[in-house]
Amino acid sequence: MGNPPQTGQPGWYYRLSSFFRDKFGEPVYKIPLDAGFSCPNRDGTTGHTGCIYCYNPSFTPFGRDQNFISITEQIQSGKKKNDRVNYLAYFQAYTNTYAPPEQLKKLYDEALNDSEVIGLSIATRPDCISTEILNLLENYACRCHLWIEYGLQSAHDQTLARINRGHSAASFADAVKLTRGRGIYICAHIILGLPEETPAMMLETIDFLNRCRVDGVKFHHLQVIRNTPLAEHHAMGQITVYKKFGDYIPILCDCLERLSSNIIVHRLASQVTSKEFLITPHWPESAGQIAYAVERELKKRGTWQGYRRNGI
C-alpha cells in the first residue's frame, strides 16, 4: 500500500522535480535535442512506416524539418534566460543510440561540453541497445547524471504489433536487465488509451513496469497527429481517444495507484510542439492543471502512488 504523503513531502505521486530537488538541491531542466538520428522502424531495418502514432516534429522543438542546427546551438537556444541553471541534454528525436559508439560519444560529449549541462537523458528503443553502447553510457554515468528512456508504450505484444512498434515487451525487459546495475537511471514511456486496450490491460502494463523495476515512467495519452498512420485510422472512425482531460484523469490515477511508490513520474500526459500537428484530442488544460487535477483526484480518493500496487 506504500506510504501516504506527509506534509512537506513530495506529494501524492513522485514527481521528477522532487527527485531533482532532493538530489541536487535545486531544479534541473531538460533541453530537448534533435541530434540527427534515424530510427530502425523507419529506415527499413525493423520497418518502413514507423510507429503508427509517430511524427517526430510534433514533439521535438528543433525538428530537422525546420533548419537543422548543431547540438551546441540547440542547447544555447533551449536555455532559460535567467540565472545559472542546471540542465540535462535530452536527446529526444528518433532513436538516440542508433549509431556506432564513437559517433554517439562525439554527440554526447558536445552536449556535456556546456558547463550548465550536468547530465544526459537519452531516448531510444529497447532493441537499439548493446553491451558496447551500455559500456559507453556507464562511463558517462560515473561522471554525470544519466537517464536512458526506453519506449515501451504497452506490455501487451498484440498492442505493440497493432501500433507497429517492431519489438516485443520481452525485448524491453531484456534491455532493462542489461542496463541495470550500471548507475544509469531507467525511464519507460507508456501510452494510455492505445487502440483496443482496456483499463485492465493498462494496469497490467504498470504491473510489468513494477516487475522490471524501472526508475521512472513517462505517461502519455493517445494523441492523433497529422501525417501518421493513426490519423488514417482515425479518419476511418477506428480510433477512440480521451476527448476531455477529465476522461483521462481517472485511468491515470488508477495507474498511479498501481505504480510502485519509488518510481519517479517524469510526465503525466503527452505534449505537442504545436497544436497545428494535433487532430485530436484538444485539451485546453496546461500540464500544471493536469498535475493539479491528479492530485485533487487522489486526495478525493484518499489514495496515493503505490496505494494499490500488486504484491510484486
Closest to ligand SF4 by CB, 50 or 281: 50
**32: contact with ligand SF4 by CB under 6 A:** no
From the list 167, 134, 155, the residue with the least C-alpha distance to 45 is 167
Task: Enter the DSSP assignment of 58.
Answer: G
Number of residues in contact with ligand SF4, rule: CB under 6 A? Answer: 11
Cα–Cα distance, 244 to 16 (Å, whole number)? 25
Long-range contacts of 251-254, Cβ-Cβ distance < 8 Å, separation of 24 or more: 251/192, 251/193, 251/199, 251/202, 252/192, 252/219, 252/221, 252/294, 253/294, 253/297, 253/298, 253/301, 253/303, 254/199, 254/202, 254/203, 254/308
- Other Cβ atoms within 10 Å of 117 Cβ, number: 20
Considering only the stretches 48-56, 111-119, 141-149, 281-289, report the one whose residues sit in contact with ligand SF4 under the rule CB under 6 A.
48-56
- DSSP reduced 3-state for 68: coil
- Residue 73 Cβ vs ligand SF4, minimum distance, rounded to whole Å: 22
> Nearest approach, Cβ of 278 to ligand SF4 (angstroms)?
16
Residue carrying C-alpha cell 497545428: 276
Binding ligand SF4 (rule: CB under 6 A), the pick from 125, 218, 220, 308 is 125
* Residue from 28, 31, 51, 293 binding ligand SF4 (CB under 6 A): 51
Q: How far is the CB of 39 from ligand SF4 (least distance, A)?
A: 3
Length of the chain: 312
- In the list 39, 120, 222, 230, the residue contacting ligand SF4 (rule: CB under 6 A) is 39
Q: Does the protein bind ligand SF4 through residue 151 (CB under 6 A)?
A: yes
How far apart are the C-alpha atoms of 280 and 277, rounded to whole Å?
Answer: 9
When asked if residue 99 is in the footprint of ligand SF4 (CB under 6 A), the reply is: no
Q: Rule CB under 6 A: is residue 163 a binding residue for ligand SF4?
A: no
Contact criterion met (CB below 8 Å) for 134 and 165 = no
For ligand SF4, the binding residue among 28, 33, 35, 50 (CB under 6 A) is: 50
Does residue 94 bind ligand SF4 (CB under 6 A)?
yes
Give residues in contact with ligand SF4 (CB under 6 A): 39, 41-42, 50-51, 54, 56, 94-95, 125, 151
